[in-house]
Amino acid sequence: MDSIETGTGTGNIGAGDSGLWRVEELGSVFVDALLDVVAKVSGFSFGVMPSLSGEENDFDGMIGIMSFNSNKKDIMIFLSAEENDMRVICSYMSGIAQEEVTKDDMYDALCELVNMTAGTVKLRIGGEDYIFTLSVPFAVNGDNISIITKTRVNVFSRILGTDEISVRLKIVY
């Protein structure tokens, strides 16, 4: 098994020599990375929030997307937030007053969160056996955006935040 260090201790991401990552274990590495990144860049102490049935499939608001490719498995990372929540996060990240934060600022902040999360995951699970290539992050905006994937893929989705603001992390591989 391949072992990794996470914020909650050591976890296994491999299943023998197959190189297949277990969704909950890999997902927990992304969650830990995002929690650490948000705390460092904004000062917020996010936690894992309860999710509602079906909530994992549709997105509202802004979405940051990045491809996380390796010699073992390719992953798509999605991070979404409502515009008002992203405005608050961006303000804390940049020091710009909330009323002065532009959509471009929010897109930049969202892409930076995705990029820093992916980079943190890369450092935590990287090593001689894993070679990673990260794409340039990009953002989309809209209402009721559905991310449709093949039926035989692994999907991990969590909502992270506080009582006032939240983001949704989704990885597909």
For residue 12, what is the domain's CATH number? 3.40.1550.10
pLDDT, tens digit, 9 for 90 and up, residues 149-158: 677 788 888 9
Which residue range forms the structural domain that includes residue 128? 3-172
For residues 53 and 22, the model is more confident at: 22
pLDDT, tens digit, 9 for 90 and up, residues 13-44: 444 434 446 778 889 999 999 999 999 999 99
Which pLDDT does position 18 carry in this prediction? 42
> Could you give the CA distance from residue 133 to residue 112 in angstroms, rounded to a whole number?
16
Distances from the Cα of 63 to the Cα of 17, 66, 111, 112, 141, angstroms:
34, 10, 9, 12, 6
pLDDT at 6 over 70: no
